[in-house]
Amino acid sequence: MPETPRAETHHVKTRDGWKVALHNYARNTRKHPVFLCHGLGSNRYDLDYGREKSLAKFLHRNGYDVWVVELRGAGESSKPRPWNRLRYNWCFDDYVVHDLPAALRFVTSKTGADGVHWIGHSMGGMLAYPMMQAVDDGLIRTATTIGSPLMTDEKNAELGGVVGDPSAAMRFLPFVPQKLLLQLAMPLAPVFLEEIVSRGDKVLWNGENMDRKDLVRLGRRAVENLPVHLIRQMQEW
């Protein structure tokens, strides 16, 4: 398997003062660039994990210029810290109005392309729906969604069974500290792994296609805290 070069990371400032990270596996090609967007409570490792299992690296090996975005609060993008003025108060609309327009403007400006191919996982695919209406015609040339719902009639019942009820945390904190909770739980992963795999099999992953070691590693690297405001918004859909 040919070696994939390290991604070049760019930080793009949004109109409301956040910085969004873009990781580029550059390729000199006439093809439209591919824009990858991660899911809820995750980061770039959602779609760019490891060497052999990374969708970003796979696309690059097959001749595409690939850009992996990290939305606010994720990965190397801006995050609320005790020493800055950023807060866990954003919602789905902020991704559509601020983060993604800034990211797409940067990609098209940097590459000279007149559009991108969008691939989104879970919420990253859901974001493609409003973005195709919000941006100029043709900017999103194609959109491919992976496990991205249009709506739910059961108030996310199955998902709630996997991640648990965040109500307790939501009463006291502006965010659900799932990153910290998972890191604390990692030493117990071998004990609870079968339960985790069985509960998540219907919703979060394909158990037949998921290595247990990868599951533990992704738990360490691919999980981010969730703002309560965003969770409450999505619970109403």
Average pLDDT of the chain, as a whole number? 84
8-235 CATH, one of 3.40.50.410, 3.40.50.1820, 3.10.180.10, 3.40.50.720: 3.40.50.1820
Give domain limits for the chain: 8-235
- Cβ distance 147 to 203 under 8 Å? no
65-89 confidence digits (pLDDT tens):
999 999 999 999 999 999 999 999 9
Of the candidate ranges 107-111, 178-182, 200-204, the one whose mean pLDDT is the lowest:
200-204
Look at residue 198 in the predicted model and tell me its pLDDT: 56
CA atoms within 13 A on the CB side of 12: 26
pTM as predicted: 0.86
109-160 confidence digits (pLDDT tens):
999 999 999 999 999 999 999 999 988 878 999 999 998 887 655 555 544 4
32-77 confidence digits (pLDDT tens):
999 999 999 999 999 999 888 899 999 999 999 999 999 999 999 9
Sheet architecture: strand order including 116-121: 8-13, 19-25, 66-70, 34-37, 116-121, 140-146
